[in-house]
Each structure stands twice: as C-alpha cells, then as structure tokens.
Amino acid sequence: MNHKHIQAAIYRRIYRLFNRKMWDIKIPGGVVSITFDDFPTSSALIASRIIREYGWHGTFYLAPGMIGMETEVGKIVSNGALADLSSEGHEVGNHTFSHIDCACSTRTTLAEEYDMSEQFLARLKGVKQFSFPYGSYDPVSLNYLSGRFRTMRTIEPGVNSGPTDLNRLKANRLYSPIDDAKIDELLQITQEQDGWLILYTHDVSETPSRFGCSVKQFVEIASKINETAIPVRSVSSVCDLLEIP
C-alpha cells in the first residue's frame, strides 16, 4: 500500500461523519444484490445467464473507457454484449470512465470522468448507481460524487442494516477461494437483521483471475442463496423498495 492509499485510509476514518447520505435499511427477511465490477465478457455472458436462470437481475458497474480492452480480469465487455445485458433487464452502473483511483484524483479529474461516463451511459437510461474503483475514495471524491448517485458502493465488508450511509455501501467479495462458511454467516445475518447483503466479483470463468471466481463456485453461491429464499434484486430495485430518491 503506497503513501496515498494509507493517507486515504486515514481520511476515510476521519471523514465518516461528512458527506453522508443516511438511510434506515430494514427489509423483512433481508435482500441480496449480486454485483460485478469492470466488467469482463465472462460476467456479461456467463454470470448473467446463471443469474437469469433464477429470475434474478444483477448490477454491473462499467468504466466505459475500458470497453473491449484486455485486462487482468479478462476482456472487458463489448458494446454489443452491453446492449444485450441491458435488454435482459440487468442494471449497468457507473465505475468512472477510465477506472481511476478516486482517492488520488483531483476534483477536476473527477468532474471530467463523471461527465464522460454519464454521456456514454445515458443511452442505458437512468444510471444512478456508482461503485468506487479499487474501493478507494477520499473526502474530495465523496464530496464531489455525493448527490450524483442514489448509492455509492465500496468494498468494505459487512451487511447493510439499520442506519446506513448510502454513499458508502458495504459489499463482500466473491474471489476464489470462496469461504462458504463466511457466506453462510452473511446470509444468516442478512435474514436476522432484515438487512441488505451486497456481493461483488469481477470475472466468472473456468480459469478466474485473483479478482474473480470459477463458474462452479458462482453456481454454488447462487444455489446457496436460492435455498435461503432471500430475494435477489438489482441495486436500483432495492433502492425502489426502500423508496430511496
């Protein structure tokens, strides 16, 4: 971790009381959202199909400037696959335009990234969810982005329940190897606390990156969630349920 990231971590602790968007989350029996960052073709084609088999919709956070690029998590989704994903009812969220580190970016850079990504994503109608690339943010990015999205998702683990900052939603990674016991615990907490469990990964393939999981593991997680009877909704669908503006 470099100096800027250490500084950002300190800032996050100090500024927890600033740029907050508090909401009381209480959903009888709980709810789960399955989300994808970046997102590679494997998620757009394989994971989306698995989700749809259960009648669910996911939220896919896209950095439009990466479309078609070869990355560590695989080739990023194409324009064609993106259109298909959206037409199937899945949600596309904002992940900045160029996948920048928000904690190391100026207000000017954040504004440019926001404008470019919003211009591209406007075709997908009402993109109002955001995920911080690398899970990284600081007071400047929180201040600039606050109010521009219904929610902003981090990679800080836990279940969202009770008084919750919608500008810093908690989310839990699905990276190989997946800790099944931990997933069971999170699902139990979600039901007991009437909470909102958000899961995230990147690629879903037979040979996943260190930021993804295998197809087998993803199928097993989906089956596990289905067995609990906890509903699975996109992030915007949960926002609608909670009447979040």
pLDDT > 60? residue 1: no
User: What are the pLDDT digits (tens) for 112-167?
Assistant: 999 999 999 988 876 899 999 999 999 899 999 999 999 999 999 999 999 999 99
CATH number of the domain located at residue range(s) 24-241 in this protein: 3.20.20.370
Q: How high is the mean pLDDT of the chain? A: 94
- The residue with tokens 């097993």 is 220
Does an H or E element contain 213, and which? strand 213-214
Q: Using CA atoms, how far apart are residues 84 and 87, in angstroms rounded to an integer? A: 5
State the pLDDT at residue 19: 84
In this prediction the pTM is 0.93
Question: Could you please report the per-residue DSSP string of 135-203?
Answer: G---HHHHHHHTTTSSEEE-S--S-B-EEEEGGGB--EE--SSP-HHHHHHHHHHHHHTT-EEEEEES-
Mean pLDDT comparison of 6-10, 11-15, 17-21, 185-189, highest-scoring range: 185-189
Contact 59, 91 (CB under 8 A): yes
The domains of the chain are located at 24-241
Residue range 172-185: average pLDDT?
97
